[in-house]
Amino acid sequence: MSRLFSLGLIASWYSSNIGVLLLNKYLLSNYGFKYPIFLTLCHMMACSLFSYIAISWLKIVPLQTMRSKSQFLKISALGIIFCSSVVAGNISLRYLPVSFNQAIGATTPFFTAVFAYLMTLRREGWLTYVSLVPVVAGCVIASGGEPSFNLFGFLMCIGATAARALKTVVQGILLSSEGERLHSMNLLMYMAPVAVAVLVPAAYFMEGDVVGITISLARDDKKFIFYLIFNSSLAYLVNLTNFLVTKHTSALTLQVLGNAKGAVAVVISILIFRNPVSVTGIFGYSITVAGVVLYNEAKKRSRND
């Protein structure tokens, strides 16, 4: 029963991760809902609501309260970085196929290593840095062979990837003391409302009458509101299943599954959206994934040493 439960969690984690990615692409590109900021706002509102229900009502994890103004400011900074990464990622999906988006996203370890060095002056072992060469080289090769390459979408995706890495590093710095460290689910509960507060004026000033357009779309197509609610719920489920898989398996298992997830997402997206791919692009992405695997192994070895 324990093994079946773990397999169910892993299946839920895969489904929610890949599902939200594909549905984002469908809404922003194929369906024609060209409002990535508002879509991100819906995601953050769902994360705020479901996080509160999961922690305060369902007691999935113990509630942790913020202890100081300083801690609040640190969490707010993380919330803004988190929000920026999601918005940039959603914007990129308007212009890039999911397969190429995933190839760029796989370069997260490179940006993590760069920010860790710039902000903490922490040096990794030489093997770790060597493993980053195929990570970057594969992305460059994939970019050169991408039939649907779009410069703006590419820059947005790079920005989203860099912001995700920056959040990881900044989180380690800002919430490093025992008194300020928060559980991942509590951190999401506090970050999501900050993101909402930032996204409301951003959507108003940058996307015009997006609320009126959304209401009009919902009237014309009853399925649209279902897509929006389901998509927003999946955005929270990604975080919840990420926590549950780590809790009931291990961080290493999540790491291995994460390496495979990108490849699965690429195959499914190509089958669904029929976007053109090239042998060069596939070759480049394969090199990047191999580099990520080598990077994770090098990090694990350096920790053991």
Q: Which of 201, 180, 197, 185 is nearest to 72 (CA)?
A: 180
- pLDDT value at residue 251: 67
d(CA 224, CA 195): 24
Residue 219: predicted pLDDT: 93
Burial of 41 (0-12, 13-18, 19+ CB in 10 A): buried
pLDDT at 178: 77
Q: The domain containing residue 101 runs over which residues? A: 2-304
How many C-beta atoms lie closer than 10 Å to residue 77's C-beta? 16
d(C-alpha 152, C-alpha 115), whole Å = 23
What is the enclosing helix (H) or strand (E) of 121?
Answer: none
Take residue 80 and report the two structure tokens written for it.
Answer: 């803004």
Query: Which pLDDT does position 252 carry in this prediction?
Result: 66
Number of domains in the chain: 1
**Residue 99, class by beta-carbon neighbours within 10 Å (0-12 exposed, 13-18 middle, 19+ buried)?**
buried
Dihedral sign computed on CA atoms, order 229, 235, 236, 241: positive
Among residues 95, 107, 204, 192, the alpha carbon closest in space to that of 148 is found at: 95
CA distance 92 to 216: 25
Is the distance from CB of 304 to CB of 252 less than 8 angstroms? no
Length of the chain: 305
Per-residue pLDDT of the chain (305 residues; tens, 9 = 90+): 678 888 898 899 999 999 999 999 999 999 989 999 999 999 999 999 999 999 999 999 999 998 889 899 999 999 999 999 999 999 999 999 999 999 999 999 999 999 999 998 878 888 889 999 999 999 999 999 999 999 999 999 999 999 999 999 999 888 877 778 888 899 999 999 999 999 999 999 999 999 999 999 999 998 999 999 999 999 999 999 988 888 887 766 777 777 788 889 999 999 999 999 999 999 999 999 999 989 888 888 877 66
